[in-house]
C-alpha cells in the first residue's frame, strides 16, 4: 500500500500537525511531504487542465506532487487551523488538485487538524470536502488536536490516541478495498468474470 502524508503546516520545526501525521505514519508507513518545502503556485483558473488533462503551471505541484498523488492508495492530509479553516499552503494544494479530477477516485483519505478551541470542525469539513469532491473514501471523521504552541500536542492524549486509531483504520480499509477489488464480480456475456 502506498500512503502519502501531506502537511499543510508552515512551522519548520515542532509542528503539532506534523507530530500527529508522523504518529499515524508510524502505524502505516508511507511518504511524508511538507508543502512549505515545495513551490506551489495558486490555481490561476486558466482552465488549461480541461483541454490537456493536466495542470499547465510549471511548479513542484505539477512536476513532483502530482505523480505521488496518482500512485498513492491513501492520502492523509493535515493542517493547523487558520481562521477556522486549513492553512493557505494546504488550500493552494487542494485547489490545484482540480487538474486531477477523476484520478483520485476511491483512494482512502484521512484528515488531521490542530488548533485551539474553535475552528477545527470547519477545517475538517474543508479536508473532507476535498476528499468527497474527488470521490475518495474518508477513513473516519478525522483527528482534531488541541494545541497552539510548538510541541504542545504531546499533552493531548486524546488526539494521539485518535491518530493511532486513524492509522489502524487506514490499514483496515486497505484490506477491505483490496479484498473487494479481488472479489469484485461482474456478469458479462452470460458468465461471471472476476
Closest CA to 94 of 119, 123, 53: 123
Q: What is the pLDDT of residue 64?
A: 96
25 phi-psi bin (left φ>0, alpha ψ -120 to 50, beta other): alpha
Q: What is the pLDDT of residue 50?
A: 86
Exposed (0-12), middle (13-18) or buried (19+): which is 32, by Cβ within 10 Å? Answer: middle
Axis-axis angle for helices 16-28, 157-183 (nearest 10): 40
- For 168-190, the pLDDT digits (tens) are 999 999 999 876 666 554 444 44
What average pLDDT does range 68-87 have in this prediction? 97
Is the domain 3-193 a CATH 3.40.50.360 member? Answer: yes
Q: CA–CA distance from 44 to each of 38, 48, 127, 146, 157 (Å)?
A: 18, 10, 21, 34, 41
3-state class of 187 per DSSP? strand
- Percent of the chain whose predicted confidence (pLDDT) is above 70: 92
Q: How confident is the model at residue 52 (pLDDT cuts 50, 70, 90)?
A: confident
Domain ranges of the chain: 3-193
Q: What is the pLDDT of residue 191?
A: 46
Amino acid at each position: 500500500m502506498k500512503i502519502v502524508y501531506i502537511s499543510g503546516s508552515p512551522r519548520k520545526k515542532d509542528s503539532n500537525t506534523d507530530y500527529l501525521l508522523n504518529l499515524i505514519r508510524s502505524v502505516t508507513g508511507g511518504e511524508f511531504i511538507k508543502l512549505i518545502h515545495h513551490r506551489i503556485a495558486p490555481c490561476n483558473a486558466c482552465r488549461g487542465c480541461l483541454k490537456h488533462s493536466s495542470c499547465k503551471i510549471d511548479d513542484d505541484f505539477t512536476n513532483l506532487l502530482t505523480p505521488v498523488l496518482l500512485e498513492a492508495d491513501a492520502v492523509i492530509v493535515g493542517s493547523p487551523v487558520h481562521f477556522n479553516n486549513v492553512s493557505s499552503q494546504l488550500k493552494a494544494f487542494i485547489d490545484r488538485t482540480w487538474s486531477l479530477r477523476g484520478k483520485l477516485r476511491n483512494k482512502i483519505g484521512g484528515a488531521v487538524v490542530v488548533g485551539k478551541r474553535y475552528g477545527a470542525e470547519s477545517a475538517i469539513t474543508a479536508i473532507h470536502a476535498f476528499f468527497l469532491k474527488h470521490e475518495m473514501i474518508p477513513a473516519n471523521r478525522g483527528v482534531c488536536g488541541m494545541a497552539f504552541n510548538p510541541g504542545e500536542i504531546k499533552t493531548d492524549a486524546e488526539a494521539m490516541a485518535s491518530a493511532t486509531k486513524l492509522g489502524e483504520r487506514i490499514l483496515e480499509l486497505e484490506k477491505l478495498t483490496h479484498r473487494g477489488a479481488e472479489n469484485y464480480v461482474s456478469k458479462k456475456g452470460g458468465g461471471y468474470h472476476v
